[in-house]
Amino acid sequence: MLSYRHGFHAGNHADVLKHVVLLRLLRHMKRKDKPLLFVDTHAGAGSYALDSGFAAKNAEFESGIARLWQRADLPEVVADYVAAVRTLNPDGMLQRYPGSPRIAADALRATDHLRLYELHSTESALLQQEFSEAGRRVRVDAGDGFAGLAAVLPPLSRRGLVLIDPSYEVGTDYRAVLTALRGGLERFATGTYVVWYPMLARREAQELPARLVRAAGTDYLHVALQVQAPSPERFGLHGSGLVVVNPPWKSAEEIGAVMPFLTEALAQDAAARYVFDVRET
Ligand code: SAM
């Protein structure tokens, strides 16, 4: 049984990094006329209250999105992301945070499609509700995103972005993301894939980025943000990273340019640092 609820972590440093990168990639992909398919294999609830419930309890957003909320010196790429969060908070108070499906739905066009998978029954019901008025453009599946991916690739338009964002609550996720990435690339080699991973003391987590890069076998961007030194008790998330396969042209450059700013803004101690590694052929 799944116990992870993303609401506890909504808007934290890992969400900031993931959603800055996701939005930038989507902005680039929209520059071509052809319709896009966005697939979120682990979609979550779609959006989250920050002033009540799970998020208020942990208040992880205070060391994430809240640190950017009032800053007047945001680089354009980060300002664009904060503006996306502002659309859910029109009165200027930070009370709600958009998950990846909401960020994508708001960024994409009427001709683009979203396919969202969420296995947790409570979360998938919330996700259905979030998109109850979206019509045929958005399809929510209350099922396993790893299993569902094969059925939707390649998209008819041959343009698509796949976000693979498990919680790694179950140890099999470390292997499953690799299998999903390899399977996706076999079916749809030119697709853009974004795989999120946690920075943890756990060996599988530390080995995952290099494995993802090897599985990519083509152009990639590896970006990661460590916000604090690993804890001596070997417990907890000290950062996160993303491996993007087939990043759109020039998107890696734009993301790399804001990493020093994000590192400074989200640092929790002097061990804060970032990784930026690109292969473009
Ligand atoms: N992508 C979301 C975002 O950025 O806003 C956050 C997703 S959260 C990290 C991971 C979600 O995956 C959880 O809501 C969990 O219930 C769900 N989940 C776990 N295993 C799954 C699976 N095999 N297929 C689909 N969803 C799954």
Decide: 99 in ligand 1 pocket, CB within 6 A: yes
CB 93 within 8 A of CB 99: no
CB 139 within 8 A of CB 113: yes
What amino acid positions are annotated as catalytic residues?
Answer: 165
How many A from CA of 269 to the centre of ligand 1? 29
Cβ-in-10-Å burial (0-12, 13-18, 19+) of 93 comes to exposed
Decide: 144 in ligand 1 pocket, CB within 6 A: yes
Beta strand residue intervals within the chain, DSSP E: 37-40, 47-49, 96-98, 113-117, 138-141, 160-164, 192-199, 220-226, 239-245, 273-279
Percent of the chain with pLDDT over 90: 89
Per-residue pLDDT at 36: 98
Q: Cα–Cα distance between 17 and 198 in angstroms, integer?
A: 12
pLDDT band at 235 (very low <50, low <70, confident <90, very high): low
CB 191 within 8 A of CB 153: yes
How many A from CA of 5 to the centre of ligand 1? 8
Decide: 130 in ligand 1 pocket, CB within 6 A: no
pLDDT in tens, 21-58: 999 999 999 999 999 999 999 999 999 999 887 777 88
Q: Which two tokens stand for residue 54?
A: 């799970």
Give the position, in ligand 1's atom list, of the atom nearest the Cα of 166. Answer: 10
Per-residue pLDDT at 56: 79
> Running DSSP on this structure, what letter comes out for residue 2?
-
pLDDT at 133 over 70: yes
Decide: 123 in ligand 1 pocket, CB within 6 A: yes
Which residue minimizes the CA distance to atom 21 of ligand 1? Answer: 119
Cβ-in-10-Å burial (0-12, 13-18, 19+) of 139 comes to middle
Look-up of token digits 């994508």: 104
CB 115 within 8 A of CB 38: yes
Give the position, in ligand 1's atom list, of the atom nearest the Cα of 99. Answer: 5
Per-residue pLDDT at 234: 60
> Running DSSP on this structure, what letter comes out for residue 137?
G
Tell me the three state secondary structure of residue 181: helix
How many A from CA of 281 to the centre of ligand 1? 32
How many A from CA of 118 to the centre of ligand 1? 6
In this prediction, residues 248-269 reach a mean pLDDT of 97
| Cα first-last separation, the chain | 43
CB burial string 154-170: b at 16+ within 10 A, e below: ebeeebbbbbbbbbbee
Angle formed by the axes of helices 76-86 and 251-266, to 10°? 70
Q: Which amino acid is present at 137?
A: R
pTM of the entire predicted model: 0.97
Mean of per-residue pLDDT scores for the chain: 95
Q: Which two tokens stand for residue 182?
A: 């390899």
Per-residue pLDDT at 97: 98
Decide: 120 in ligand 1 pocket, CB within 6 A: yes
pLDDT band at 6 (very low <50, low <70, confident <90, very high): confident
Decide: 28 in ligand 1 pocket, CB within 6 A: no
pLDDT in tens, 137-191: 999 999 999 999 999 999 999 999 999 999 998 999 999 999 999 999 999 999 9
Decide: 9 in ligand 1 pocket, CB within 6 A: no
Per-residue pLDDT at 3: 81
pLDDT band at 122 (very low <50, low <70, confident <90, very high): very high
DSSP result, 76-128: HHHHHHHHHHHTT-TTS---EEE-HHHHHHHHS-TT-EEEEE--SHHHHHHHH
User: In testing the pocket of ligand 1, which one of 118, 193, 197 has its CB within 8 Å of the most ligand atoms?
Assistant: 118
**Peptide bond just before 98 cis, omega within 30 deg:** no
